[in-house]
Amino acid sequence: MKEYIPGLAGVPATKSAISSIDGEKGILAYRGYSIQDLVKHSSFEETALLLMQGELPTHTELCDFKDLLQRRYEVKRKIRHLLWSLPSEGHSMDVLQTAIASMATFYPGAGASEPDSAYTQNALVKIISNMSTLVAMWTRISRGYDPIPPSKTMSYAENFMYMCFGEESDPEIISLLDACLILHAEHTINASTFSTMVTASSLANPFASIAAGVGTLAGPLHGNANENVLLMLDEIGSPKNARGWIEDRLKNKKVIWGMGHREYKTKDPRATILEQMIKTYVNKSGHNLSERFETALEVESICDELLSHKGVYPNVDFYSGILYAELFKFTKEHFTSIFAMARSAGWVAHWHEQVSHNKIFRPTQIYTGKDFRDYPVR
């Protein structure tokens, strides 16, 4: 009798050298380097190259990669026209998935048959570089404004903010965004990475594979959860309302957004870093946060009291939405696409790793339908 494990929980589906998690200790590492060290010492560009190549780049390699990203920021004119043709109320993730999938028509030779060819490698870099441009373009097009052309001299994080708002941002804000991109760049075989790998295992082109990842990340149980955290905090209203709200949710067996993670038995290390980053920036800058942040701290405190014995603690989504809204001034409908922008580095790395030692995914099932039977002759 085959055992059915819902959601494939704990079932190894592949071997990977890209990232690792110690859920008991709350450790996440990319290629062996802890996210704490990467946030402190690295940049998103260096982290992306680390994920793709397996080792930290030399100074020359990193400079060349940054230059290549900058030269590849521009989006094809017809894709820009495609975005203008879409309904302005369309969700940013639906738009991003459409745009990424359409890029395959411009790079028909990029594929799994030659994953190390210069052409395919160029396409993988194009995905990462264009992700930021596409997300920034939609933040403006959806509001009726023309996109701002990308800079050829700014860093990935700096250029993204410039394309969104049309002005240079505070260097401290740029550093915060760069750290967020690093924290969201990779997270082992999560749902969106797995769907990217499943698509890649059919030897589909990288654009189709990454588009599959974008579609999966859009779900409320995955990347879209940070939007729901903000809605939850606004519904609670203030710290004094938190206990009653949480107790009612638990009583009715409803989700408390941003709480719990299948991989961690302690607080998500990314949530710990984001919380500290927010506090450090506020203390240093004197920036006044809305009541959301105090409400979030109270929610975490009450959940720690009521749920920690079950191993339920804040995950990365719990604080990322607050950071995006309060400090970066993004509206919630763009949160998940920024997540996708960062995760593109991990998806690209997994696409390449999958097709380099490929076997198509073909799990089995436990059939629960009718026994074989004769068709009734009337």
Q: What is the pLDDT of residues 129-178, one digit of tens each?
A: 999 999 999 999 999 999 999 998 999 999 999 999 999 999 999 999 99
Q: How confident is the model at residue 1 (pLDDT cuts 50, 70, 90)?
A: low
In a domain, 173, yes or no: no
Percent of the chain with pLDDT over 90: 71
pLDDT score, position 16: 96
Contacts 24+ apart (CB under 8 A), 108-111: 110/205, 110/206, 110/207, 111/203, 111/205, 111/206
Q: Rg (Cα) of the chain, in Å, rounded? A: 21
Q: Which of 91, 184, 261, 352 is catalytic?
A: 261
Question: Phi/psi of residue 22, each to 5°?
Answer: -110, 95
Domain count, the chain: 1
Mean pLDDT score of the chain, rounded to an integer?
93
- Given a contact cutoff of 8 angstroms between Cβ atoms, the answer to whether 166 and 148 are in contact is yes
| Cα separations in angstroms, 226 against 326, 349, 366 | 13, 24, 34
112 versus 189: which is more confidently predicted? 189
Range of 233's domain? 225-326
The yes-or-no answer on residue 261 being catalytic is yes
The CATH number for 312's domain is 1.10.230.10
The yes-or-no answer on residue 41 being catalytic is no
pLDDT score, position 374: 95
In a domain, 282, yes or no: yes
Lowest mean pLDDT across 70-84, 90-104, 106-120, 129-143: 106-120
Assess whether pLDDT exceeds 80 at residue 234.
Answer: yes
How confident is the model over 317-329, as a mean pLDDT?
88
Residue 62: exposure state from Cβ atoms within 10 A (0-12, 13-18, ≥19)? middle
Q: How far apart are CA 188 and CA 289, in angstroms?
A: 33
Q: How far apart are CA 291 and CA 171, in angstroms?
A: 25
Q: Which residues pair with 348 in a beta bridge?
A: none
> Quick one: angle between helices 171-184 and 156-165, nearest 10?
110
Q: What is the pTM of this model?
A: 0.93
Assess whether pLDDT exceeds 80 at residue 202.
Answer: yes
In a domain, 91, yes or no: no
In a domain, 303, yes or no: yes
In a domain, 306, yes or no: yes
Q: What is the pLDDT of residues 257-300, one digit of tens each?
A: 988 888 888 899 999 999 899 899 988 888 888 888 899 999 99
Q: How far apart are CA 27 and CA 20, in angstroms?
A: 8
Q: How far apart are CA 230 and CA 87, in angstroms?
A: 24
Assess whether pLDDT exceeds 80 at residue 2.
Answer: no
How confident is the model over 88-102, as a mean pLDDT?
96
Assess whether pLDDT exceeds 90 at residue 113.
Answer: no
Assess whether pLDDT exceeds 90 at residue 74.
Answer: yes
In a domain, 23, yes or no: no
Q: Which of 91, 317, 334, 352 is catalytic?
A: 317
pLDDT score, position 100: 97
How confident is the model over 247-258, as a mean pLDDT?
91
Q: What is the pLDDT of residues 173-191, one digit of tens each?
A: 999 999 999 999 999 999 9
In a domain, 212, yes or no: no
In a domain, 68, yes or no: no
pLDDT score, position 146: 95
